[in-house]
Amino acid sequence: MARIRFENVEKKYANGFHAVKDLNLEIRDKEFLVLLGPSGCGKSTTLNMIAGLEEVSDGSLLFDDELVNYMPPHKRDVAMVFQSYALYPHKSVYDNIAFGLQMRRAPREETDRRVRDAARKLEIEHLLDRRPSQLSGGQRQRVALGRAMVREPAVFLMDEPLSNLDAALRISMRAEIKELHQEMQTTFVYVTHDQAEALTLADRIVVMRDGVVQQIGSPGDIYERPRNTFVASFLGNPPINYIEGQIKVTDDQMVRFVQGELELNFPAETAAKLADCDGLTVLLGIRAEDVEEGSHGGAGAVLTGKVNSVLPVGSDLFLGFELFGNELFFRVGKDIGHASGDEVSLTVDLNRLHVFDKDSGASLIW
């Protein structure tokens, strides 16, 4: 049972750096929460505050309903997996995994049973007598997981646990971690700067920037309905495209996005939200995958421009596309028969357009 609640939490360092600003967040029991953001955004600091490795400067941090601001890490029932794994070089794999239990004075047989269980699950039984220096990166990763698992903690913290692995291993470990969460039935807090990891693993994602929470929501929510340009840009590969333009509300209650000759008509639902925005300068966001080749969408839904570059990525193709001097990137099927310099038309999925206020970057529709 572990709910974690941040109430107006601040973190300031002695050197004046303001790492986390007015954080309000409730992490639900047994939830898989991912803290996502670029480096320096405060996500690791937040995680460390949960662990007790960093002290809360101001505000309250509660576990269930207990204030834990000043509780040192060894008094909290948390386990943590680190980016560098932080295995104890002088201890065998077995002792590395058992250490946390030993420190909490678990009975010897119980410790042994749990260590061997975990080792079996992680398929590292044959490595128990080795030293960390004799292991590969993936094996170390498993030992680090094992060390956290055996503790059966109320909260399971992971700080970029996969970033030191190579790409293939990273994907398979993702799956294992997801499985682990389901098996352990405990609260996971996971820090990453990798959007794909966040989207795959999370029940909910918290996007942070410069110490401020940008958006909290399910992966779908975050991806489909980004609250601002930062969130929108941070997720998506290739990143979301922006076109600057004006909102035009016509007499017949049609709402259009206008930029020079380009006019896009918003569908009714979106239009309703933009009814008061006549004349506002906005950024129109189009995700790379939200276009189709061809002009079948008809007027008000078609972008026409010149192909700048064609970048095949295997499964599909990134198309560099020039429009009003901006270079936009779209993801299209790999069968497209265009080459650089060709003129193409793309039909936009109007239901999936994003509109942000140009000045504040805030979404006007979500």
| Residue among 25 and 47 whose Cβ is closer to other proteins | 47
Nearer to other proteins, 101 or 173 (CB): 101
Query: Which is closer to other proteins, CB of 142 or CB of 354?
Result: 142
79 or 249: whose CB is closer to other proteins? 79
Instruction: For residue 43, count CB atoms less than 10 angstroms from its CB and return exposed for 0-12, middle for 13-18, buried for 19 or more.
Output: buried
Work out which of 24, 74, 309, 311 binds other proteins, going by CB under 8 A.
Answer: 74
145 near other proteins (CB under 8 A): no
The reply on whether position 212 binds other proteins by CB under 8 A is: no
**Contact stretch for other proteins (CB under 8 A) within 84-92, 123-131, 231-239, 300-308:** 84-92
Q: Please state the length of the chain.
A: 366
By C-beta, is 79 or 277 nearer to other proteins?
A: 79
Tell me, letter by letter, the H, E, C secondary structure of 79-94: EEECCCCCCCCCCCHH
Q: Taking a C-beta distance cutoff of 8 angstroms, is the pair 305, 298 a contact?
A: no
Chain positions 14 to 53 lying near other proteins, rule: CB under 8 A, are 14, 48, 51-53
Question: Which helix (H) or strand (E) covers residue 212, if one does?
Answer: strand 212-217
Q: Which of 122, 211, 123, 201 is nearest to 160 (CA)?
A: 201
Beta strands (DSSP E) in 108-182 are 155-159
Among 84, 163, 250, 304, interactor with other proteins by CB under 8 A: 84
Question: Two tokens at 146?
Answer: 């094992």
End-to-end CA distance of the chain: 33
* Angle at the Cα of 314 from the Cα atoms of 312 and 317, rounded to 5 degrees: 35
Does position 127 interact with other proteins (CB under 8 A)? The reply is: no
Q: Would you count residue 114 as binding other proteins (CB under 8 A)?
A: no
Which residues of this protein are in contact with other proteins, per CB under 8 A? Answer: 13-14, 48, 51-53, 55, 58, 69-74, 78-80, 82-84, 86-90, 99-100, 103-104, 147, 151, 157
